[in-house]
Amino acid sequence: MSRSGATSGDRRAETLQRLMEVGRVHSGVTVMFHSAIAAKQGLNATEEKTLDLLERHGPLTAKELAQLTGLAPASVTGLVDRLEAKGFARRVKHPTDKRRVLVELNREKIGELAVFFEDWARDIVAACEEFGTEELETVVRFLTVMSEAQRKAAARLSS
């Protein structure tokens, strides 16, 4: 026990509690940020984040989108229908398996969203200046683990 009377177990429990609280705040502001960007283009947050998945992974099947988003297949069909109707994505034949369909981005339309992220990217770089590389690597590792845990939780909720 330390001189203050707190054990390492107490400190860990307190830190985990603070982490949960900060995580909730971060989650909330993240959702609001993406909702604001989405609204600028007539999208909802799920549609905007799906475009991000297509940007990062390239064309995907509806099944792959369901796996990556944790959404039910029927929900993904409606999501793709909306993105297609709004001009952000289109269905195309798979290049090697004509029975399959891929969802791909409309590159011209998606370019309209990029401007909203440019200032934010500069803000992130500036905010990271106060952290060392090892600290940032720890944050990357933590966020990677947490993202996978949340993806699994979303999949459980959708099944």
Mean pLDDT computed over 69-89: 92
Angle at 105 between CA 99 and CA 110, to 5 degrees: 170
Digit-coded pLDDT (tens) for 46-61: 899 899 999 999 999 9
Token pair belonging to 80: 């793709």
- Positive or negative, the CA dihedral 20, 22, 28, 30 is negative
Beta bridge partners of 89: 105
Q: What pLDDT was estimated at residue 136? A: 97
Angle at 93 between CA 88 and CA 96, to 5 degrees: 135
Average pLDDT, the chain: 90
In the predicted structure, residue 131 carries a pLDDT above the cut 80: yes
Digit-coded pLDDT (tens) for 21-44: 999 999 999 989 988 988 988 999
Q: What pLDDT was estimated at residue 117? A: 84
DSSP tag of 87: T
Token pair belonging to 145: 């683990």
Q: Is residue 49 within 8 Å of 65, Cβ to Cβ?
A: no
Digit-coded pLDDT (tens) for 1-22: 555 567 888 999 999 999 999 9
Phi, psi for residue 97 in degrees, rounded to 5: -130, 95
Q: How far apart are the C-alpha atoms of 56 and 1, rounded to whole Å?
A: 48
DSSP tag of 99: T
Amino acid at the residue 150 = Q
Element (H, E) at 104: strand 101-105
Q: What pLDDT was estimated at residue 3? A: 55
What is the pTM for the complete model shown? 0.73
Q: What pLDDT was estimated at residue 2? A: 52
